[in-house]
Amino acid sequence: MNTEYDVVVIGSGASGLMTALTAAANGQQVAILEKTPVLGGTSVVSGGSIWAPGNKYAEKAGANDDREDALNYLRRVTLGRISDDLLALYVDTINHALDFLESETALEFTANMEHPDYQPALPGARDGGRTIQVGLYDSKRLGDLRADLRPTHSTVPITKHELDEWGMDTLDRWNWTLIAERTKEHIVGMGAALVGELLEACLRHGAQVFKAMPARELIERDGRVIGVRAGEEASPVDFTARRGVVLASGGFEWNERYVKRFLGVPMVAPGSPPSNEGDGLRMAMSVGAMLGNMTEAWWGPMLDVVGDTYDGQPLHRTTSGIRTQPGSLIVNRSGKRFVNEAMNYNDFVKAMAHFDPVSYEYSNVPCWLVFDQRYRESYSVGTLTPDGLKPDWVIQADTLPELARTVGIDEAGFMDQIARFNKTSAEGVDPDFHRGETTYDRYRGDKNRQPHRNLGPVGDGPYYAVELHFGCLGTKGGPVVDANGQVLDADERPLPGLYACGNVAASIFGPAYPGAGSTLGAGMTMAYLIGRHIAAS
């Protein structure tokens, strides 16, 4: 087995594969080390979107974007914590990275003209066009590696555009015959399609993939990282990297010790593959890397569907659609609403993180989505479908007071809240939290529901409640990198031979989640810069 390469990439998600592809296309010998027996990491279970301000696909569709608007928006959502140079680096690089992908893969991007930025009311935001999507991918093109593409835990072979058209939470409107035909032909969509295209291109350029090859420690010589010790602890394999080692191994959200030490909030429901245990973070710390953004993650409120597992661990499902539909509201243990339920998932969890110094507790943890019978008959909630049997994790009661008592919600506060919410929502307004007023809210709502796609009173029973858990799609803190993706030491000097991108690194977006596809966009942009820098060094 060859163990000497120009570049050794740790991780086979989109960021790792983008680094490998860029380096290999520029003449480098590349090895990709994957911890698990399957390839694709967290990227496979994502929507496969990329956030790209000023992209040509939106321009062709008639959109008018502007570089300075994009920068103003990023300055606002990052709360002034990220330098203008780094923000400009992203805005000025992302579209070059997409051009490179088009030249090296069969990816065909389209702009989602209906998907707004996550804070569309802020200066510089856009109501559509900055999020681009991928199409479908025939995984048979991977040959023997087809079976090694990580299986997705909940997605089916459809595009994001189809998901929008059919309705995220209205499964009865989906074309299941078409889905079955695609499944039979090993067609994949969204994140799996993106990873499949990247992996195929990496293989075409001669990159070698090593599955079930966990990276254990970095190898240093004379102050430079020169390789990686990987494989089984009892019989490790040393991979030499003549030009650089790239950490692209994902976040630390499944490492309970790191979560408690760094995040500082009660995050209990990670929504990524359980292999994200902070391996890259540990290795970076071991060689003296400066750390940044360690209290941040790509947040999201999650469902914990009892008995639902992925890779032997609990599967936590996202809630982007179910929080936006009429006939529902979200309350804390006091029975009170505390946020616009239709808020983007990242900022929603920031409201869950509110700490009350008087009661000395997180006042919005736990919280519950409460909905009526019409909602139950109209939308899917996790694995609960309109025509399915109610599982035990969904609480049901004949009356609202009974529901409150069963769940453990303050009954008086809850009934007062229901009365106020029903009155205002019947009028199509939410004076307390402005639900349904932004284009993002309305994008997620039920377009077939009149008079308002987001708002409606809680009507006739029976009534239902499901708990929403404090979760994330992945952490976004780790080693700080420079504009070339080089990991910096405590004195902000590059650590020779070491690079990082994706969720293992301190995010270029700091505390922000600008729009759908920001996670992949940030990781793949830095990966592109790393590959070019290594090849030119």
State the pLDDT confidence band at 448, using cuts at 50, 70 and 90: confident
Q: Is the dihedral of CA 338, 340, 346, 347 positive or negative?
A: negative
**Residue 68 token pair:** 């300075």
Q: Which residues make beta-bridge pairs with 467?
A: 368
If residue 496 lies in a helix (H) or strand (E), which one and from where to where? Answer: strand 494-500
Mean pLDDT in residue range 509-533: 98
Q: What is the 3-state secondary structure (H, E, C) of 326-340?
A: CCEEEEECCCCCCCC
Lookup result for tokens 């694709």: 40
Q: What is the 3-state secondary structure (H, E, C) of 356-385?
A: ECCCCEECCCCEEEEECHHHHCCCCECCEC
pLDDT of residue 350: 97
404 alpha-carbon distance from chain centroid: 32
Residue 348 and residue 257: Cα distance in Å, rounded?
25
For the ranges 49-58, 441-450, 451-460, which has the lowest average pLDDT?
Answer: 441-450
Determine how many CB atoms are found less than 10 A away from the CB of residue 383: 17
Residue 443 and residue 130: Cα distance in Å, rounded?
14
CA dihedral 436, 441, 442, 447 (to 10 degrees): -100
Mean pLDDT in residue range 24-29: 98
Residue 223 and residue 226: Cα distance in Å, rounded?
9
CB contact at 8 A, 63 and 125: no
Residue 257 and residue 234: Cα distance in Å, rounded?
25
355 alpha-carbon distance from chain centroid: 25
pLDDT of residue 25: 98
Mention every residue, 6+ apart, whose C-beta is less than 8 A from residue 259.
252, 253, 267
Mention every residue, 6+ apart, whose C-beta is less than 8 A from residue 163.
none
Write the pLDDT tens digit of every residue in 188-215. Answer: 999 999 999 999 999 999 999 999 999 9
CB contact at 8 A, 22 and 535: yes
Q: Could you report how far apart the first and last alpha carbons of the chain are, in Å?
A: 26
Give the residue, 324 or 155, on which the prediction is more confident: 324
Mean pLDDT in residue range 309-321: 94
If residue 199 lies in a helix (H) or strand (E), which one and from where to where? Answer: helix 190-204
CB contact at 8 A, 395 and 465: yes
Mean pLDDT in residue range 241-261: 98
Choose which CATH entry (3.50.50.60, 1.10.1200.10, 3.40.50.300, 3.40.920.10) describes domain 4-217+476-536. Answer: 3.50.50.60
For the ranges 128-132, 133-137, 157-161, 337-341, which has the lowest average pLDDT?
Answer: 157-161
Mention every residue, 6+ apart, whose C-beta is less than 8 A from residue 211.
34, 36, 37, 38, 39, 148
pLDDT of residue 155: 75
CB contact at 8 A, 73 and 514: yes
Mean pLDDT in residue range 155-159: 88
Write the pLDDT tens digit of every residue in 380-436. Answer: 999 899 989 999 999 999 999 999 999 999 999 999 999 999 999 999 999 999 999
CATH number for the domain running over 300-472: 3.90.700.10
Q: Where are the domains of the chain?
A: 4-217+476-536, 300-472
State the pLDDT confidence band at 165, using cuts at 50, 70 and 90: confident
Give 62: exposed, middle or buried? Use CB within 10 Å, 0-12, 13-18, 19+.
exposed
Mean pLDDT in residue range 128-136: 97
Residue 364 and residue 109: Cα distance in Å, rounded?
39
Mean pLDDT in residue range 35-53: 97
Lookup result for tokens 């970095």: 218
Instruction: State yes or no: pLDDT of 98 exceeds 90.
Output: yes
Residue 179 and residue 382: Cα distance in Å, rounded?
19
Q: What is the DSSP letter of 90?
A: H
Which 3 state secondary structure label does DSSP give 158? coil
Mean pLDDT in residue range 24-42: 98
Angle at 499 between CA 498 and CA 503, to 5 degrees: 135
Mean pLDDT in residue range 309-319: 94
Lookup result for tokens 């399957």: 38
pLDDT of residue 166: 86
Lookup result for tokens 């569907």: 305
Residue 51 and residue 41: Cα distance in Å, rounded?
19
Instruction: State yes or no: pLDDT of 172 exceeds 80.
Output: no
Residue 314 and residue 204: Cα distance in Å, rounded?
36
Going by DSSP bridges, is the β-strand pair 355-356/367-371 parallel, antiparallel, or unpaired?
A: unpaired
